[in-house]
Amino acid sequence: MTATTEQTILEMRGIGKSFPGVRALDNVNFKLYKGEVLALMGENGAGKSTLMKILSGIYSPDSGAIVMDGREVTFPDTNAARDAGISIIHQELNLCENLSVAANMFLGREEVGGFGSLDDAKAEEETRRILLALGLDIDPGIEMSYLSPAQKQMVEIAKAVSQNARIIVMDEPTSSLTTAEEEVLYGIIEKLQE
């Protein structure tokens, strides 16, 4: 899809990364424009996951630079990348099956009410608002274990939106989806471009 503006929000310049006996990335350049959807393709072992892990603060590059909004940045950990607006949705989803959709959406950043107690009603209300904005009909109070793989993935995307992610990276998002579920995913991606 075409970028909606020519504003560069992310650049990875000359990225290199080695592991014992393996050069995973060698002088990789990558540019992302606001509103743009890109697909990074290659064979297993081509370095796609390594590049994603550098962007998300899991790995540090051996060489090169990451530039966001014209400023060079470093991500010493995943919190720093998330704080910069980068969200990664891994192929193996990172959800707690025994908790509700709303509890998963705000896990680690729970809504707190009076006397320090969790404000489940506020979390459910905010979750419902985000899900509806994405066109998703998922009950915020339902336990994750009752959802289909596609619905769980949609919750992960909604969680990224709730964290004000500016860049959402999805690792093989259609690998476990049916054709109809893929269409729902593509519809959400189009909404996120707006």
Report the 3 state secondary structure along the chain. Answer: CCCCCCCEEEEEEEEEEEECCEEEEEEEEEEEECCCCCCCCCCCCCCHHHHHHHHCCCCCCCEEEEEECCEEECCCCHHHHHHCCEEEECCCCCCCCCCEHHHHHCCCCCCECHHHCECHHHHHHHHHHHHHHCCCCCCCCCEHHHCCHHHHHHHHHHHHHHCCCCEEEECCCCCCCCHHHHHHHHHHHHHHHC
pLDDT in tens, the chain (194 residues): 444 447 899 999 999 999 999 999 999 998 999 888 888 888 888 889 899 999 999 999 999 999 999 999 999 998 899 999 998 887 777 788 999 999 998 887 776 666 666 677 888 999 999 999 888 899 999 999 999 888 888 898 888 888 888 998 888 877 777 888 888 888 888 888 76
Q: What is the pLDDT of residue 115?
A: 67
Q: What is the pLDDT of residue 5?
A: 45
Q: What is the pLDDT of residue 35?
A: 86
Q: What is the pLDDT of residue 117?
A: 64
Q: What is the pLDDT of residue 139?
A: 95
Which residue(s) pair with 59 in the sheet? none
* CA gap 52, 145 in Å, rounded: 28
Q: What is the pLDDT of residue 4?
A: 44
Distances from the Cα of 17 to the Cαs of 9, 76, 136, 171, in angstroms? 22, 15, 39, 19
In 3D space, the residue among 46, 38, 33 whose CA is nearest the CA of residue 4 turns out to be 33
Which residue(s) pair with 23 in the sheet? 18
pTM: 0.79
Unique residue bearing structure tokens 């909606």: 4
* CA gap 178, 164 in Å, rounded: 28
